Structure 1
Amino acid sequence: MKPTTLPIKNMASILPASNTSMRSDRNTYVGKSFVHVKNPYLDSMDEDVLYHLDLGTKTHNLPEMFGDVKFVCVGGSPNRMKAFALFMHKELRLADSEEDIKDICAGTDRYCMYKIGPVLSISHGMGIPSISIMLHELIKLLYHARCSDVTIIRIGTSGGIGIAPGSVVITDEAVDSFFKPRFEQVILDNIVTRSTELDKELAEELFNCSKEISTFPTVIGHTMCTYDFYEGQGRLDGALCSFSREKGLDYLKRAYNAGIRNIEMESTVFAAMCRLCGLKAAVVCVTLLNRLECDQINSPHDVLVEYQKRPQLLISKFIKQRLGLCDQTS
């Protein structure tokens, strides 16, 4: 599959340098920041099969297909990420037609992936295990493709805490269920703790972009990542509930007082893996309800659809600003 290119003169300035300028460590060119991996065994492999993406180092020319990628946007729903790809196609005013936008991962039913100029739009499913598998293979893809200066953003939905439904939260710190900025990964029979620090400058840049959008509120705050949608988030409406209404509400109030403004199920592993592999990362999620008021999402479908477009609008503005296209509108 050929990469889609932008019909603008300054596009060449953001493309990767020639392979001849590569340093011996393969992770850096002069003046560029490259995606790297933390696995000493990868370079000794004859072939790397990215099974869940239906890609591989022998079956596909990854540098040719993905070498110009600068922005990666990931989200849970395949339909939502396809919609985002079509939206970015209009926003970037690409020369090809929408019919040319195909799912690169069509050979698998796990994830979907669309390439729109320098933008990748990828689904990651729901929860830490699903996004973790996708990130392992995505990061290896970016590494094999020799991508440089990549920004990766998770766009999604979440439950708000103490803020109005429809608010967009830019995460400044991803925390676990104990309100700690960490991700605990079980490796063999050990628990390995990793930092969930996100790029603060990127969060501020996104927040500054949001100031130009008056149609919805945007805040910066902590995001709590849980392993479960029901009991793990203090809900009373699951098949199981082992705590009282009072204890559940007290937990959410303590989360609010700790600076947490929304809850989802992917941010800690996303932040940890991106940080270890040299990716500047951000999390931007819209809230579908205020968990201090209710547990169930009961807004009308058309309202929820409009909410889900809000992070996409913000990220579109950010990408166009980075590409020098902020004066163009679709």
Structure 2
Amino acid sequence: MEQEDFTEMEPPPSPKPSFVRNVNLAAMDEDYLYHLALDTKHNDLKDMFRDVKFVCFGGSPGRMKAFAFYMVKQLKYKITAGQTLEDISKGSDRYVLYKVGPVLSVSHGMGIPSLSILMHEILKLLNHAGCDPGEVMFFRLGTSGGLGLEPGTVVISEAAVDGLLRPYMEVATLGMVIQHPAFLCPELNKELLEVSKSVGCQSVLGKTMCTYDFYEGQARLDGAFCEYTEEDKRNFLKRAHARGIANIEMESLCFAAMCHRTGVKSAVLCVTLLDRLQGDQISTPHDVMEEWQCRPQRIIAEFIRKKLGITD
């Protein structure tokens, strides 16, 4: 039976921006953001975060720490002599959270469950801080496997699809399966594509397939289990590529779906580390990959600089 093609679905309109849509929060005396080691009783979240305009997410704690220090230079941010940036969530071993002026740099771990937890708490944090959801932008910066692209290319996601190429995330809630659309902001994507050209990073617009697994879910042949042939794998990846899928990773579906539910402007930028149509394993030298992984950061840093009117 021919699989239904969901990849050309029109995105539904985004709702009016709002960080939270939960009436229960207003009745709570205290909100403990457990995985960030912050709470509304012992931390003045308004004083700490009310000026936030840009939230940048990435999987690796080390990479997001490095991005925070990179933004110190890019924003010409002044740090008092004898001090340094500090992980605001150091009381937790789940994520890291750094603040550089109006920019948050936060790690989300690997996969949808880890990202989902963080997104809930970041959204609540910004709500408690009194930030304007119409003025804050979210960015996911990551790595991925490309489809038919030269390694090192940055994919700016137009939408995220699941392993069945459907542009929504399914969440089991109260015994029911709820579908949340996973589209991203086309106007923001166009701006980012222009910025990528200005900083010399090869970038393309395309759809991103997000899977719940790194091996079988991504049709790899090199996992502990594999019950399909190389021809099966190649046919699936070619079919996905023909339907506009430019890359594969493990978080964009949740990120896009949760941002679409809030109405907050958001974008996903992932550099490709290999062409999955050519193989499964990454053999690129470490120093080359390090430069590739910085490309999404360079694009977002320049975008933020432009928005803040910062020039060299």
With normalisation by structure 2, the TM-score equals 0.92
* C-alpha distance in structure 1 between counterparts of 2:19 and 2:142, whole Å: 26
Structure 2 unmatched runs, 5+: 1-15
1:206 aligns with 2:192: yes
The residue identity in structure 2 corresponding to 1:55 is: L
Q: 1:181 aligns with which of 145, 167, 185?
A: 167
Q: 2:285 aligns with which of 300, 307, 327?
A: 300
Q: Does the 8 A contact of 1:36 with 1:143 survive in 2?
A: yes
What secondary structure, in the 3-state scheme, does the structure 1 residue paired with 2:138 have?
Answer: strand
Q: 1:267 aligns with which of 230, 245, 252?
A: 252
Q: 1:138 aligns with which of 105, 119, 122?
A: 122
Per-residue CA distance 1:177-232 (angstroms, 9 max, x = gap): 12121111111211100111111111111011112122x31101001100000000
What secondary structure, in the 3-state scheme, does the structure 1 residue paired with 2:291 have?
Answer: helix
Q: CA deviation at 1:99?
A: 4.1
* C-alpha distance in structure 1 between counterparts of 2:204 and 2:278, whole Å: 19
Q: Tell me which residue corresponds to 2:225.
A: 240
RMSD: 1.2
What secondary structure, in the 3-state scheme, does the structure 2 residue paired with 1:287 have?
Answer: strand
* C-alpha distance in structure 1 between counterparts of 2:174 and 2:36, whole Å: 25
Q: Tell me which residue corresponds to 1:13.
A: none
Q: Does the 8 A contact of 1:35 with 1:146 survive in 2?
A: no
* C-alpha distance in structure 2 between counterparts of 1:208 and 1:47, whole Å: 44
Q: 2:95 aligns with which of 111, 119, 143?
A: 111
With normalisation by structure 1, the TM-score equals 0.87
Following TM superposition, the consecutive aligned residue runs of length 4 or more in structure 1 with deviations greater than 2 angstroms are 33-36, 97-100
* C-alpha distance in structure 1 between counterparts of 2:17 and 2:217, whole Å: 36
Per-residue CA distance 1:13-37 (angstroms, 9 max, x = gap): xxxxxxxxxxxxxxxxxxxx86431
1:41 aligns with 2:24: yes
Q: Tell me which residue corresponds to 1:18.
A: none
Q: CA deviation at 1:253?
A: 0.5
What secondary structure, in the 3-state scheme, does the structure 1 residue paired with 2:225 have?
Answer: coil
What secondary structure, in the 3-state scheme, does the structure 2 residue paired with 1:192 have?
Answer: strand
Q: Matches of residues 1-330 of structure 1 in structure 2 within 5 Å? A: 35-96=18-79, 99-148=83-132, 149-214=135-200, 216-325=201-310, 327-328=311-312
Higher relative contact order (CA 8 A, sep 6+): 2
Q: Does the 8 A contact of 1:210 with 1:314 survive in 2?
A: yes
* C-alpha distance in structure 2 between counterparts of 1:189 and 1:237, whole Å: 35
* C-alpha distance in structure 2 between counterparts of 1:41 and 1:242, whole Å: 46
Q: Does the 8 A contact of 2:188 with 2:265 survive in 1?
A: yes
Q: Does the 8 A contact of 2:72 with 2:78 survive in 1?
A: no
**Residues matched between the structures, number:** 294
The residue identity in structure 2 corresponding to 1:100 is: T
* C-alpha distance in structure 1 between counterparts of 2:272 and 2:92, whole Å: 30
Task: From the superposition, tell whether residues 238 and 95 of structure 1 become closer, same or farther in structure 2 (CA, over 3 Å).
Answer: same
Q: Tell me which residue corresponds to 1:9.
A: none
What secondary structure, in the 3-state scheme, does the structure 1 residue paired with 2:231 have?
Answer: helix
Q: Does the 8 A contact of 1:160 with 1:287 survive in 2?
A: yes
The residue identity in structure 1 corresponding to 2:274 is: L
Task: From the superposition, tell whether residues 35 and 63 of structure 1 become closer, same or farther in structure 2 (CA, over 3 Å).
Answer: farther
* C-alpha distance in structure 2 between counterparts of 1:46 and 1:240, whole Å: 49
The residue identity in structure 2 corresponding to 1:129 is: P
Identity of aligned residues (%): 54
